[in-house]
Amino acid sequence: MGAHTKYNSHIQKNSVNFATMSQIEELRAFVTIVETGSLTQAADRLNVAVSAVSRRLRDLELRLGAALIQRSTRRLYLNETGQVFFERCKLILSDLEDAQQEVSNAGGSLGGVLRVSAPLSFGLAHMSSAIAQFMHANPEVRIEMDLSDKRVDLIAEGFDVAIRIGTLTDSSLIARKISNVRFLPAAAPLLVDQLPALSSPEDLQHVPALIYLNDRNPQEWHYTAPDGKTGVLRVVSKMSANNGDVLRELAIAGHGMVNLPQFLHYEALNRGLLRPLFADYTWTNFDIFAVYPKTTILPKRTRAFVDFMASLYGANPYWHTLKPQ
């Protein structure tokens, strides 16, 4: 049995013993040292003496029988054992904070920190107002938001909830559908007016296309006609990008047609900057989910946020409402 396996076994046997305040403070000191990178900064954050932080780390390592941090003259480094233990400690402290928050908020307002991850374009266009409304209703909740198209590891990176669009792949998370999004091809009015009469989507196959790479098959635009017949429009790429905001602006400037989720270009459509193409057809649909880790106690603030998002967007979100052309 290797040292790493022995260490994990030791953790499992002793994890039930992390009950006293001193042991909790040792865990908190260890996590803070790792997050700040130094004993001095950890002491500042915890508002204790540097000697107290050093002592708590030493006591923790002695109880575990394993070194967690390698020390040098300039920096502190996590070893492999320390890295594993650090991830476990973050979960332990997070669960402790959640449990305390549950009790303190049992009869009152919500509080604590809520860490949220959301796709960049969706977050910029639709999360700002949503977060503002949620914070107004829950002023004691502090929000930490990460906007990125990178799918974060909720557990490893410490997020409470993430907004995901499209197919879900991580079965270790709980997912709740909060809304949906439809794709809709569009182009600038000047470009549309230059096209011959359009009788079917195939008439668009030679029109330069701005390709949205976040779609599953970006150069194959699947559709269902009003009579139920299905088909695929295979388009010619003039440009491709993984950001729909860029493609929308290029489409408005007349550089090609684009097939985007409506939450990205519904305003341009309603302002007449873009004109929908075959709006009576059904194009690609995706669901929008709020996903969060499986946990014994789901913090009230997380549950309240997910409920709020589901009620705000719902089955017929505002970005699907288009003005008559």
d(CA 259, CA 215): 9
Place of tokens 């790429």: 237
- Count the neighbouring beta carbons within 10 Å of the beta carbon of residue 133: 12
pLDDT of residue 273: 97
- pTM of the predicted model as reported, rounded to 2 decimal places: 0.67
First to last CA, the chain: 71
pLDDT of residue 294: 79
pLDDT of residue 162: 95
- Measured on CA atoms in the order 18, 21, 22, 26, is the torsion positive or negative? positive
Q: Which two tokens stand for residue 278?
A: 């075959």
Distance of CA 41 to the CA centre of its chain: 29
d(CA 319, CA 325): 16
Q: Which two tokens stand for residue 314?
A: 């719902």
pLDDT of residue 212: 92
Domains and CATH numbers, the chain: 3-104 (1.10.10.10), 107-325 (3.40.190.290)
In the chain, which residues have pLDDT < 70?
1-19, 72-74, 98, 100-109, 170, 296-297, 325
From residue 149, how far is each of 165, 213, 263, 286 by CA, in Å?
10, 12, 15, 16
- Count the neighbouring beta carbons within 10 Å of the beta carbon of residue 86: 18
Q: Which two tokens stand for residue 94?
A: 């997070």
Residues 140, 100 contacting (CB under 8 angstroms)? no
pLDDT of residue 48: 84
pLDDT of residue 103: 65
d(CA 101, CA 76): 32
- As beta bridge partners, residue 209 has 237, 257
